[in-house]
Structure 1
Amino acid sequence: MKADRAPIPVFIPLFIGIIAISFSSIFVKWSDSPVSVQAMYRLMITAIMMLPFAGKYAGDARSLKRSEWGLLALSAAMLALHFLLWMGSLQWTSVASSTIILALQPVFVMIGAYLWFKERTSLGALFGMSIAFLGVFLLIGSSGFGGQEGHFKGDLMSLLGTAAVAVHMLLGQLLLRRLPSFLYSWLVFVMASLILAVYNQIQGYSFTGYSGREWGIFLLLAIVPTVFGHLLFNWLMKFASASTVSMSVLGEPVGASVLAFLILHETMYPLQAAGGALVLLGLILFLRVGASPKRPKEFEQKGAA
């Protein structure tokens, strides 16, 4: 149990956070800008919002070794790749399919932790993971049965983007052993936005000239799913167990699917729905038994949508 008592019932900010991260894919779908530009400004605006609080960590930043800067750069590159793949997947597949696959993030982290840190997990977690991946195969395979053109490409991009963010989080697990979580997040956001800026320059994408509507979407991406989503979950960790907050990963595909149905008029085909149900069932089993007890609490609940 937590020593601190939340000033309001925990379920209220948890519900707000789930709704907030569920809007991430909706904002991406609304935008007409290249996804790499959306991702760049989302991270850049978030980093600017965090800047007034970053000064007190200057000493920690100066004490970083060259190898640690290298790991930070690699972590940022994986975060940038995640945004390119996952946000790009929404151009090809449905919100429901993309976010359900993204919810496999804890499973990918567990696999990486086993290969990298030799962390063990239970048979129950492995059983849940197997069910979840069976659902993913059904989801991706359903692209030939009434799915939209390019559905397979979009689902595969979401799967690869999920693997990329898992590598980002595992690198963070190493760095958080000596870095404050705020400083780590801020440095990674800054570096990832710079990586995306270089990518956009190479691709010839404009940095300016976007409509007021597009700038509004960039701002919404920074504020809603980041501040009222992931940062709110970080705050909740002071009052609720990691397992409770971790279950929010199941809320995003459900919330995003409902929002996509109401706002974008998207629907799911029967095989897609069956695959999605299997993924969520597998994740419930996986999260309930506790897959990675050694993982720092900062990474037991974070998502990167």
Structure 2
Amino acid sequence: MKKNAPIPTAIPLIIGIIAVSFSSIFVKWSSAPASIQGMYRLLITALLMLPFIRPHLAELKSLTRKKILMLFASGFFLALHFLLWMGSLKLTTVSSSTIILALEPVFIVIGAFFIYKERTSRVAMAGMGVAIIGAVLIGWGDIGVSRANLIGDLLSVFGTLAVSVHMLIGQKVVQQVSSYVYSFTVFLSATAVFAVYNAVCGISFTAYPGKDWAMFALLAVVPTVFGHLLFNWLLQYVSATTISMSILGEPVGSSLLAFILLGEQMTWFQIVGGMLAIFGLIVFLNADRFKWKPKGKQAAEPLKSA
């Protein structure tokens, strides 16, 4: 049973949705390479978490080699996600990239089926199919815009696959370590992966104007602390399905912000494809509510949330 939240859960949920919607805007506003943005975003977030690490030091010291390897693997795929997704924003529009990114739950279910043998309902599968058709329409529309837009869409797809692997690994690891230790070590691992990548590629660690450093800090504080970490905190009080629904708010919020702040326009393919993707995700995330139950058992067996 979930605990009672100290404040109405709608308040932090709305704050979180608005916060993550700014992520793509900050990426667009920075001229730094995606690998540098991702590295400093995660490094600054880990540094902000550092003052609160003392109660978790004993757990950190007791981590086994297997757990450390799992945490590093999760961090590796988180770094790969940021590298590909942030890179996609350099080539395609905010709306296309974030709508494709919102397909994360679909990829997770597919991965969970093959890795953990988890099954899903026919209604969820139907919603998944509609969402994928919507994403294909977005990519199809970008073919006529430019080759760069299409490559950006593909990078977003691969970035979504990477974050899905990160989540699937995390699904197992968080059962063995606290969420704070998980987040802190994964962020540090991803930062290390980025540092090695940047060093090997000869990318400068410091040659960036003040505006870029401001964007690095904003990426850490706004979408990461007030977005993803806030959602992790909310899991104590609301279901995972409720948190997952926030994924639908990001492409809508990001697209509106991109229109207002960046002057980006949406094509009809993006609008229709985006609407299909979001509708499919709504059906997918609420599939359990559509399950048929015999009349005699309806009162005794309440619907379960995913």
TM-score by length of 1: 0.91
1:192 aligned partner: 190
Alignment gaps of 5+ in structure 2: 290-304
2:238 aligned partner: 240
1:1-305 paired onto structure 2 within 5 Å: 2-7=2-7, 9-145=8-144, 147-290=145-288
Partners of 1:89 and 1:251 lie apart in 2 by 20
- Whether the aligned pair in 2 keeps the contact of 1:260 and 1:266 (CA below 8 Å) is yes
Q: Deviation per CA, 1:229-267, whole angstroms, max 9, x where unpaired?
A: 111222222333332222100000000000000000001
Give the drift of 1:271: 1.1
Give the drift of 1:170: 0.7
1:296 aligned partner: none
1:294 aligned partner: none
Partners of 2:6 and 2:58 lie apart in 1 by 31
Give, as a single letter, the amino acid of the residue that structure 2 aligns with 1:233. F
Give, as a single letter, the amino acid of the residue that structure 1 aligns with 2:124. A
Give the drift of 1:144: 2.4
Greater shift after overlay, 85-94 or 67-76? 67-76
Alignment gaps of 5+ in structure 1: 292-299
Q: Deviation per CA, 1:135-178, whole angstroms, max 9, x where unpaired?
A: 11111111223x24411100000000000000011111121121
Q: Secondary structure at the match of 1:4?
A: coil
Greater shift after overlay, 55-64 or 258-267? 55-64
Q: Deviation per CA, 1:253-292, whole angstroms, max 9, x where unpaired?
A: 000000000000001111121111111011000011159x
Give the drift of 1:45: 0.2
Q: Secondary structure at the match of 2:286?
A: helix
Residues matched between the structures, number? 291
Give the RMSD, CA atoms, in angstroms. 1.7
Identity %: 53
Partners of 1:21 and 1:5 lie apart in 2 by 22
Give, as a single letter, the amino acid of the residue that structure 2 aligns with 1:4. N
Give, as a single letter, the amino acid of the residue that structure 1 aligns with 2:229. L
Partners of 2:93 and 2:165 lie apart in 1 by 25
Q: Secondary structure at the match of 1:208?
A: coil
TM-score by length of 2: 0.91
Q: Secondary structure at the match of 1:239?
A: coil
- Whether the aligned pair in 2 keeps the contact of 1:243 and 1:290 (CA below 8 Å) is no
Partners of 2:44 and 2:148 lie apart in 1 by 31
Question: Which protein has the larger Cα radius of gyration, Structure 1 or Structure 2?
Answer: 2
- Whether the aligned pair in 2 keeps the contact of 1:100 and 1:276 (CA below 8 Å) is yes
Greater shift after overlay, 241-250 or 83-92? 241-250
Partners of 2:154 and 2:90 lie apart in 1 by 12
2:299 aligned partner: none
Partners of 2:210 and 2:91 lie apart in 1 by 25
Q: Deviation per CA, 1:47-75, whole angstroms, max 9, x where unpaired?
A: 00001112222222222222222222211
- The runs of at least 4 consecutive aligned structure 1 residues that moved more than 4 Å come to none
Q: Secondary structure at the match of 1:246?
A: helix
